[in-house]
A and B are shown apart, each in its own frame.
Chain A
Amino acid sequence: DGGITQSPKYLFRKEGQNVTLSCEQNLNHDAMYWYRQDPGQGLRLIYYSQIVNDFQKGDIAEGYSVSREKKESFPLTVTSAQKNPTAFYLCASRVRQGDTEAFFGQGTRLTVV
């Protein structure tokens, strides 16, 4: 079945460590997005990518990095520079051309311990 897969579902990180969240899609979508959600809040855009080997900073990119080496994959690294990384992270993808909606993965809940 086509869809977006985020892994892991739950992730625990020690302070000072980098951690990478996986996002894979088999929908042949061009655009991919990473959002962060804190309790009771909406989605804040971290990074997005329209095509392979290109990506743009969103509204809260500091402390995060991404890569887009393959169309299907858009991993997010939460670095030690991100001071408050505990949150729910959501990956989305959509077709770049035309009026189309974004589809979401099931999310990764990251907790710093």
Chain B
Amino acid sequence: QKEVEQNSGPLSVPEGAIASLNCTYSDRGSQSFFWYRQYSGKSPELIMSIYSNGDKEDGRFTAQLNKASQYVSLLIRDSQPSDSATYLCAVEGSNYKLTFGKGTLLTVNP
């Protein structure tokens, strides 16, 4: 089982719709979870971080964490063409090891 898995995509949504991105992880001891956005050829930039069960909202973005199910998700409301990018899920496991998933390519169509 891979440490961090994301739905493979690509994911295509119309402008204004909700985009839902999912991630599962294998290390039950993981405590910190992150969503990064990466544009082609650029380095990743942090979108959201979440550390406790439940929802965390920041503008159009909502991160959801369920440690019992080892599941973390990112919802993007009112999707914009500028949201088109690859979204990477990252999980901190034991010994500060920070592992990324393969990413989900999101395309928002005008």
Chain A contact residues, CB within 8 Å of chain B: 31, 33, 35, 41-45, 48, 50, 56, 58-59, 90, 92, 94, 96, 99, 101-107
Measured CB to CB, the closest approach of chain B to A88, in angstroms, equals 8
Selected from B42, B44, B46, the residue in CB contact (under 8 A) with A43 is B44
Residues A41 and B102 in contact in the complex (CB < 8 Å), given A50-B96, A104-B43, A107-B43: yes
Contact A102 B98 (CB under 8 A): yes
Q: Which of B49, B51, B88, B98 has the most CB of A within 10 A?
A: B98
The residue in chain B whose Cβ has the minimal distance to the Cβ of A4 is B43
B32 at the interface (CB under 8 A from A): yes
| Bound CA span A76–B85, Å | 28
B-chain residues with CB within 8 Å of residue A99 when the two chains form the complex: 31-32, 49, 51
A-chain residues with CB within 8 Å of residue B103 when the two chains form the complex: 41-42
Interface size class of chain B, counting residues whose CB lies under 8 Å from the partner chain:
20 to 34
Contact A90 B44 (CB under 8 A): yes
B109 at the interface (CB under 8 A from A): no
The residue in chain B whose Cβ has the minimal distance to the Cβ of A42 is B102
| CB<8 Å pairs between A and B, sample of 7 | A42-B103, A45-B100, A94-B98, A101-B34, A105-B43, A106-B42, A107-B43
The residue in chain A whose Cβ has the minimal distance to the Cβ of B99 is A45
The residue in chain A whose Cβ has the minimal distance to the Cβ of B102 is A42
Known: A48-B98, A101-B49. 20 other contacts (CB 8 A): A35-B100, A42-B88, A42-B100, A42-B101, A42-B102, A45-B97, A45-B99, A45-B100, A50-B96, A56-B95, A90-B43, A90-B44, A94-B98, A96-B96, A99-B31, A99-B49, A101-B34, A102-B34, A104-B43, A104-B44
